[in-house]
């Protein structure tokens, strides 16, 4: 990157915690958020595990201070909570917030409310509350986040499947580099819905016992929900307000192999392109990467493709790696940002998080993930992968900030 981009604040809510502190505590205690369905009204309750945020939508509204509001979807609520925490963490004043840009990602948008409408409408086309569908589109959650946080700069929405929020961070960095913005709040949010649960179940890629990425007997992914946002700033903007960085976004890249609508290329080409381009942009050598937060969904196709790509890029010296989706499930459009926050926690806390439930190494590759929490490890650079349907592959590299 010609113009340096720094992270000065982060916010997160997931199945393992309602804020940064709770998420970190769960990661350090190896406490997963994956379990039986308790909130989503679905025929799969008791059959398919998920990673739910442990609060009902009315409880989230109360926590947000918006009790009784009827124009907020669960997706928007989660996003507002994470974005607010990130802004508070960065110490932005009202004027700085007002001028900041917002790049928010989502895949399901307001589907959680739309399902309420159609369940009634399909039984009787004279029933169903229209207020449940007016917030359906993906851009609505972005507008609500901007409204509730006071953001009035450049505002846009990204939806590129599971690479969505990684791409929002990448796009936010480009806005700063190009001089369009000096400060951008970037991330993503997604809630669990019957639509996504049924869709992935139809693809037959849901593990009925909880995902176990990179295990030879892996049986699919586990869906989760949550939101995470990063405050990105130019070096000039950060120095101007005498703020210290949490870390530097030293490299980022996106590549599309267009191999298949829902499958990764078996030879890992798209993943290789994204990782290599991010490394080239950062100027960091492969051997200098301390830890890799892999996309690691737990599906047969993805893990093999990503594993092959890792061996192509790093040879026989693949850095320690793990999938934190074993804690949070796959949060879809929020995954890239959720895992970006975890990458920064790894740098700051000097830890590598474990890949839970792993037992049997894959036969096709010669690598296996970290399975226990590693402490007191100096971590300089962390690489994070996020891959989406259609071969949309993104890689972010976060580096330890200079003192």
Q: Across the strands, what pairs with 231?
A: 9, 185
User: Is 272 known to be catalytic?
Assistant: no
User: Is 260 known to be catalytic?
Assistant: no
pLDDT of residue 260: 73
Query: Does residue 235 sit in the same domain as residue 264?
Result: no
pLDDT of residue 403: 62
Query: Does residue 198 sit in the same domain as residue 224?
Result: yes
Taking the chain (403 residues) in runs of 10, the rounded mean pLDDT of each run is 89 98 98 97 96 97 92 96 98 96 96 85 79 88 97 96 96 96 98 95 95 98 98 97 96 88 80 97 97 97 96 97 98 98 98 98 98 97 92 95 77
Query: Does residue 391 sit in the same domain as residue 318?
Result: yes
Query: Does residue 19 sit in the same domain as residue 117?
Result: yes
Query: Does residue 41 sit in the same domain as residue 167?
Result: yes
Residue 403 inside a domain? The answer is no
Distance CA 160, CA 254 (A): 11
The predicted model scores a pTM of 0.96
End position of a domain, from candidates 179, 213, 240: 240
User: Is 162 known to be catalytic?
Assistant: yes
Report how many domains make up the chain: 2
For residue 94, how many other CB atoms are within 10 A of its CB?
8
pLDDT of residue 115: 86
From the list 138, 162, 211, 343, the catalytic residue is 162
For residue 329, how many other CB atoms are within 10 A of its CB?
32
From the list 211, 295, 343, 381, the catalytic residue is 295
The range of the structural domain enclosing residue 224 comes to: 5-240
From the list 138, 247, 272, 330, the catalytic residue is 330
Which are the contacts of 123, defined by CB distance < 8 A and separation ≥ 6? none
Q: Would you state the structure tokens that stand for residue 400, as one six-digit string?
A: 């330890």
* Cα–Cα nearest to 105, from 65, 61, 139, 146: 139
pLDDT of residue 263: 72
Query: Does residue 263 sit in the same domain as residue 154?
Result: no
pLDDT of residue 74: 97
């Amino acid at each position: 990157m010609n113009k340096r981009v720094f992270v000065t604040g982060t916010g997160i809510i997931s199945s393992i915690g309602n804020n940064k502190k709770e998420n970190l505590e769960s990661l350090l205690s190896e406490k997963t958020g994956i379990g039986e369905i308790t909130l989503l009204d679905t025929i799969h309750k008791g059959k398919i595990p998920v990673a739910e945020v442990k609060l009902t939508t009315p409880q989230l509204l109360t926590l947000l201070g918006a009790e009784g509001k009827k124009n907020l979807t669960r997706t928007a609520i989660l996003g507002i909570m994470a974005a607010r925490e990130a802004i508070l963490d960065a110490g932005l004043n009202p004027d700085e917030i007002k001028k900041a840009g917002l790049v928010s990602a989502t895949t399901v948008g307001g589907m959680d409310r739309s399902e309420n409408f159609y369940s009634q409408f399909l039984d009787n086309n004279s029933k169903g509350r229209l207020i449940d569908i007016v917030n359906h589109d993906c851009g609505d959650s972005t507008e609500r986040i901007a409204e509730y946080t006071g953001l009035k700069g450049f505002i846009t929405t990204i939806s590129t499947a599971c690479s969505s929020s990684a791409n929002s961070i990448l796009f936010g960095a480009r806005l700063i580099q190009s001089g369009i913005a000096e400060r951008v709040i970037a991330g993503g949010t997604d809630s669990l819905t019957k639509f996504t649960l049924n869709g992935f179940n139809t693809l037959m890629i849901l593990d009925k016992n909880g995902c176990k990425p990179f295990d030879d007997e892996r049986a699919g992914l586990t869906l989760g929900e949550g939101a995470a946002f990063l405050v990105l700033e130019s070096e000039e903007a950060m120095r101007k307000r005498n703020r210290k960085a949490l870390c530097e976004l030293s490299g980022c890249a996106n590549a599309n192999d267009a191999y298949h609508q829902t499958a990764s290329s078996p030879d890992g080409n798209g993943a290789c392109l994204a990782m290599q381009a991010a490394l080239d942009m950062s100027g960091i050598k492969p051997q200098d990467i301390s830890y890799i937060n892999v996309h690691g969904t737990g599906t047969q196709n993805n893990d093999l493709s990503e594993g092959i790509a890792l061996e192509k890029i790093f040879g026989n010296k693949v850095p320690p790696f793990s999938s934190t989706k074993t804690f949070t499930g796959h949060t879809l459009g929020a995954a890239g940002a959720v895992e970006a926050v975890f990458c920064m926690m790894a740098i700051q806390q000097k830890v590598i998080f474990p890949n839970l439930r792993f037992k049997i190494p894959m036969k096709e590759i010669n690598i296996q993930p970290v399975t226990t929490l590693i402490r007191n490890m100096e971590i300089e650079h962390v690489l994070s992968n996020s891959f989406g349907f259609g071969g949309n592959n993104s890689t972010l590299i976060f580096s330890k900030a200079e003192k």
